């Protein structure tokens, strides 16, 4: 195991390549371009394909083609580009193609700006494209997790034959931290369903069409079953100072790093604050938050958007306890001081 000082956007590519990523198709957009740049450097070196596509639409459809052909493929973009990929992601989900999509979220709506926001939670977690589909969404908050999830995403994509998102933000992509580089322990399943241009695969079909209503309903039911298995087996989260917490701060991604600092300061002042951080946004740690709400008295959701995960937290708590909200938008990151003051106000 080696230790390396890496940028988030580079770590994710190193993780992916070690997990067998052998194809990358993308289109540049700040703050995700460095992922394409790192992929351009490393993926061909490792024996794979890198191609800068003519658009995000083309890129996701190349991903669709590569995944159809059995490649371990990824793409990365940010808000406007993810919007363009939406149709293709829906196709990948419908055709049950394993692939990895990274979104380094920037400020929106429209062209917005390139600061860090979390405003694409709904776009990414709730679908974004059309139809009854879900993608697994991993939410890293450190460079180590950018690397780890670069690997994990490929494992999960293959395990479930499903697109997997990594949702990060401008800061997590840009920052550098030490990363422990480990060998992946991954099973590489045989993809005998893929279309490879061989006699054995010449009866295979990749499609999302089911013309007969009953067939499409059955297909959708099968997909929902798969999603409920994910909800049973793939929930990941982190807790901090949670056991005796009177107020639980819920945050994901970069916001959780600030919350972590704020909670530590509050603890020094004798306030029993704790942090709960979903690492998977789908499947969302519903049960865990629900259980917490039977103990902790108050909740504060901190997000860099207009309150998107907030809805999921409220749904999990089912009105049992008050859920407060603190947010910043536009590329601003909440400060430790702001969060601390918000908590003090709630606890007064």
Partner 1 sequence: MAKNILTRSTTFYDEYYRKPGADKKNTTYCPGCGHGILHKLVAEALEDFGVRDRSIFISPVGCSVFGYYYFHTGNIQAAHGRAPAVGTGVKRANPDSIVISYQGDGDLAAIGGLEILHAANRGEGMTVFFVNNAIYGMTGGQMAPTSLEGQVTTTTPRGRSIENEGYPVKMSEIIATLDAPVYVERVMLADTKSIMHARKAVRKALKIQIEGNGFAFVEALAACTSNLRKQGPEAMNWVKEVQQKIFPIGVKKDISDDFEAMRREHKKVKFEELFDLLDVHELNIDKEKVQKYSDKEVRQHFKIAGFGGQGVLSLGTVLSEMGMRHDYEVSWLPSYGPEMRGGTANCSVKISSRKIGTPLVDNPTLLVAMNRPSLDKFEDAVVPEGIIIYDSSLIDRKPERDDIEAIALPATKIADELGNTKVANMVIVGAINEKLELLSQEVIMESIGDVLKKAKFVDINRKAIGKGAEFIRNMG
Nearer residue to partner 1 within complex by CB, 179 or 289: 179
Q: What is the b/e burial string over 36-49, where b = at least 16 CB atoms within 10 angstroms of the residue's CB?
A: bbbbbebbeeeebe
Phi and psi angles of residue 2, each rounded to the nearest 5 degrees, phi first = -110, 155
Least gap, CB of 171 to partner 1 (angstroms): 6
CA distance readout (Å), 161 to 18, 86, 130, 164, 242? 19, 18, 18, 9, 35
CA distance readout (Å), 275 to 16, 237, 247, 263, 299? 29, 11, 8, 7, 10
Nearer residue to partner 1 within complex by CB, 22 or 308: 22
Nearer residue to partner 1 within complex by CB, 30 or 122: 30
Least gap, CB of 125 to partner 1 (angstroms): 23
Nearer residue to partner 1 within complex by CB, 176 or 235: 176
For residues 21 and 72, is the Cβ–Cβ distance under 8 A?
yes
Task: Output DSSP code: residue 107.
Answer: E
Nearer residue to partner 1 within complex by CB, 82 or 316: 82
Torsion angle in degrees (nearest 10) through CA of 36, 40, 42, 48 = 110
How many Cβ atoms from other residues are within 10 Å of residue 331's Cβ?
17
């Amino acid at each position: 195991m080696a230790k390396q000082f890496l940028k988030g956007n580079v770590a994710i590519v190193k993780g992916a390549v070690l997990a067998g990523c052998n194809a990358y198709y993308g289109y540049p957009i700040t703050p995700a371009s460095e992922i394409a740049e790192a992929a351009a450097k490393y993926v061909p070196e490792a024996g794979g394909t890198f191609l800068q596509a003519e658009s995000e639409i083309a890129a996701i459809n190349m991903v669709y083609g590569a995944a159809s052909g059995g490649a371990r493929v990824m793409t990365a973009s940010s808000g406007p580009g993810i919007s363009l990929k939406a149709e293709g992601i829906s196709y990948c989900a419908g055709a049950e193609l394993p692939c990895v999509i990274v979104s380094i979220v920037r400020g929106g709506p429209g062209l917005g700006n390139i600061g860090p926001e979390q405003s694409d939670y709904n776009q990414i977690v709730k679908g974004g494209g059309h139809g009854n589909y879900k993608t697994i969404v991993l939410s890293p908050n450190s460079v180590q997790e950018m690397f780890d999830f670069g690997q994990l995403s490929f494992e999960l994509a293959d395990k479930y034959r499903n697109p997997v998102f990594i949702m990060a933000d401008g800061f997590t992509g840009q920052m550098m931290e030490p990363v422990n580089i480990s060998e992946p322990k991954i099973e590489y399943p045989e993809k005998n369903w893929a279309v490879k241009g061989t006699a054995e695969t010449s009866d295979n079909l990749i499609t999302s069409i089911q013309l007969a209503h009953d067939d499409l309903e059955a297909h959708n039911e099968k997909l929902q079953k798969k999603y409920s298995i994910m909800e049973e087996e793939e929930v990941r989260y982190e807790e901090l100072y949670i056991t005796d917490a009177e107020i639980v701060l819920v945050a994901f991604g970069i916001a959780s790093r600030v919350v972590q600092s704020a909670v530590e300061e509050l603890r020094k002042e004798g306030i029993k604050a704790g942090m709960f951080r979903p690492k998977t946004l789908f499947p969302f740690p519903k049960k865990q938050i629900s259980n917490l709400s039977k103990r902790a008295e108050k909740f504060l959701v901190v997000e860099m958007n207009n309150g998107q995960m907030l809805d999921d937290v409220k749904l999990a708590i089912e009105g049992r306890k008050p859920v407060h909200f603190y947010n910043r938008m536009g590329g601003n990151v909440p400060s430790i001081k702001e969060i601390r003051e918000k908590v003090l106000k709630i606890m007064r």
